[in-house]
Chain A
């Protein structure tokens, strides 16, 4: 069974440009999470989807970030326009259940804004 996959692995963009990150969760996992790790610090929660609905987006930094999960399958996270402080590693994770279940993480997308 395929794990959580993320595209691209790396992205280097200029300040002001737009970038879209994609996450394909494990098949059948209704719960999808986005996280971000900046400058080797903690991994910070961004938002949580249950199927196609945003359950919790309390961690989204600002309105330059837009996440979607049309059809409840894969998800995209768009940053528009990108700023220097958006650089970091963006992780996607999925889980089948909410209770007592860990999340399965993808390998991450390293975003560098120059």
Chain B
């Protein structure tokens, strides 16, 4: 059974609008969460992370929200740009070994000009 789930395989938004990507996890032992972005034929690239002691982390246009009680996190991109079109992976790990992560299936984001 998957411990990290991204229930939306794809998302399409208009340039300039907000993109919201969602992720749910089941394992309470996870205490560090990451979002990776992946372009075709490339490896995942780290985007933003959040520790379980926080409920929000912001970096420029990207904000990650964590709701521990609901075991849910989301990535907000605002404003969305065509260059943001990619596959976004949610990943969960232990803070003591963030390189070993459990990934979701990914959500393909398309930002239309």
Contact = CB atoms under 8 A, between A and B. Distances in A.
A63 to B, nearest CB: 21
Nearest to A4: B43
A100 B51 contact: yes
A44 B106 CA distance: 12
Interface in B38-70: 41-46, 49, 51
Nearest to A106: B43
A32 B102 CA distance: 16
Given A91-B43, A107-B42, A98 B105 contact: no
Given A105-B45, A106-B43, A99 B103 contact: no
Interface string A42-62: 111100100000001000000
Nearest to A89: B43
Interface residues of A, number: 27
Q: How large is the interface on B (under 10, 10 to 19, 20 to 34, 35 or more residues)?
A: 20 to 34
B98 interface: yes
Contacts of B88: none
A31 B99 contact: yes
Nearest to A93: B99
Given A43-B103, A103-B46, A98 B98 contact: yes
Contacts of A35: 103
7 contacts: A42-B102, A45-B100, A45-B101, A98-B98, A100-B49, A102-B98, A107-B42
Interface of A: 4, 31, 33, 35, 40-45, 48, 56, 91, 93-95, 98-108
Given A99-B96, A101-B98, 13 more contacts: A40-B106, A42-B2, A42-B103, A42-B104, A42-B106, A45-B101, A48-B97, A93-B43, A94-B99, A99-B98, A102-B34, A105-B43, A107-B43
